[in-house]
């Protein structure tokens, strides 16, 4: 069973630890367990409860009123607030709960409801990306096990790949994008989403997927006229490695426009080569 510290709960709910302790004592909404060190710990059910309570609290409801509601009543009120205010916080929290429970049906139901409500692209950027950010922090801190992270990522990849297949390929396009993730990079969802966006824009797109050594690009680059290269970098690296990667790509393909995206691009401290640009937002990828 997953366990969380009170600091973890604070980070994910936005509720101060001191406030959580007061709620626990005054309203008996949950009951933290104690380690041998007497530090509070919380389980997955506690996290789900607190995420729901925090959602209502952040939308202006007093804790005394929340505590007086049953769980079904809290859920119903949360749904009403989400529909009225078009908030993405509730579906993000619901996706986390479905992930913790390995509830495939519930995960898909939430995903499809958000696609219908927001449209596919806003669902990905406004719900799925915040969800992945939270899951990523949970995974990094050991609060979500790899199986849970793989569970949710697999569903999301499948949905984006289905959307990609639904877009016709423009084989006559003047611009040809080659997408890949470099060796050691396995976080494919941002790459898949860019593939979807580019196909929708009528571009010719080829994706090599994750964990691709730069040497593996060469035969394709020689055989096909590629006008753009795009890669997305999430895995921790160093400034030297990041700057070296940008230089190497530029030197290998000086006549190709190269887009670098992802949080690791913040490490680029050297002046960029003339054919290299940073795509700070996925939606900024255009020609």
Q: Are 198 and 169 in contact (CB under 8 A)?
A: no
pLDDT at 165 over 60: yes
Q: Are 194 and 151 in contact (CB under 8 A)?
A: no
Q: Are 118 and 126 in contact (CB under 8 A)?
A: yes
Q: Are 42 and 36 in contact (CB under 8 A)?
A: no
Classify the C-alpha dihedral 215-217-218-219 as positive or negative: positive
**Angle between helix 44-58 and helix 89-100 axes, rounded to 10 deg:** 170
How far is Cα 190 from Cα 179, in angstroms, rounded to an integer? 11
Q: What is the mean pLDDT of residues 250-279?
A: 90
Domain edges within the chain:
3-164, 168-284
Summarize pLDDT for 117-142 with one digit per residue, the tens: 899 999 999 899 888 877 765 664 45
Q: Are 258 and 186 in contact (CB under 8 A)?
A: no
Q: What is the mean pLDDT of residues 96-119?
A: 92
Q: Do domains 3-164 and 168-284 have the same CATH topology?
A: no
Which 8-state DSSP code applies to residue 203?
Answer: -
How many helices (H) and strands (E) would you count in the chain? Answer: 13, 8
The tokens of 214 are what?
A: 């730069």
Q: Are 165 and 193 in contact (CB under 8 A)?
A: no
Q: Which of 54, 139, 126 is nearest to 86 (CA)?
A: 126
Summarize pLDDT for 184-205 with one digit per residue, the tens: 888 899 999 999 999 999 999 9
pLDDT at 69 over 70: yes
Prediction pTM value: 0.69
Cβ atoms within 10 Å, residue 195: 24
As a CATH number, domain 168-284 is 3.40.50.280
SS3 call for 178: strand
Q: What is the mean pLDDT of residues 53-74?
A: 87
Q: Which of 179, 176, 182 is nearest to 191 (CA)?
A: 179
Summarize pLDDT for 205-260 with one digit per residue, the tens: 999 999 999 999 999 999 999 999 999 988 767 788 889 999 999 999 999 999 99
Q: Which residue has the higher pLDDT, 141 or 25?
A: 25
Classified by CATH at the fold level, domain 3-164 comes out as Multidrug-efflux Transporter Regulator; Chain: A; Domain 2 (1.10.1660)
**Considering the chain, what percentage of its residues have pLDDT values greater than 90?**
47
């Amino acid at each position: 069973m997953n366990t969380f510290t009170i600091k973890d709960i604070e980070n994910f709910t936005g509720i101060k630890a001191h406030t959580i302790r007061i709620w626990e004592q005054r309203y008996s909404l949950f009951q933290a367990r104690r380690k041998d060190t007497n530090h509070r710990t919380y389980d997955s059910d506690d996290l789900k409860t607190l995420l729901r309570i925090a959602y209502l609290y952040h939308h202006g409801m007093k804790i005394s009123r929340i505590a007086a509601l049953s769980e079904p009543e809290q859920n119903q009120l949360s749904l009403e607030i989400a529909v009225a205010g078009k908030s993405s916080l509730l579906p993000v929290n619901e996706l986390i709960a479905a992930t913790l429970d390995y509830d495939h049906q519930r995960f898909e139901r939430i995903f499809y409801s958000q696609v219908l409500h927001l449209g596919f692209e806003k669902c990905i950027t406004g719900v799925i990306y915040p969800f992945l950010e939270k899951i990523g922090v949970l995974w990094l801190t050991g609060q979500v096990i790899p199986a849970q992270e793989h569970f949710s990522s697999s569903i999301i990849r499948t949905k984006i790949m289905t959307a990609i297949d639904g877009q016709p390929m423009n084989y006559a396009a003047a611009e040809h994008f080659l997408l890949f993730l470099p060796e050691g990079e396995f976080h494919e969802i941002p790459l898949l989403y860019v593939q979807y966006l580019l196909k929708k824009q009528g571009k010719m797109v080829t994706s090599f997927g994750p964990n691709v050594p730069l040497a593996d690009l060469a035969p394709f680059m020689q055989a096909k006229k590629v006008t753009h290269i795009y890669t997305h970098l999430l895995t921790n690296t160093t400034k030297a490695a990041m700057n070296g990667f940008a230089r190497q790509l530029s030197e290998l393909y000086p006549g190709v426009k190269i887009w670098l995206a992802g949080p690791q691009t913040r490490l680029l401290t050297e002046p960029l080569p003339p054919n290299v640009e940073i795509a700070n937002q996925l939606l900024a990828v255009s020609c």
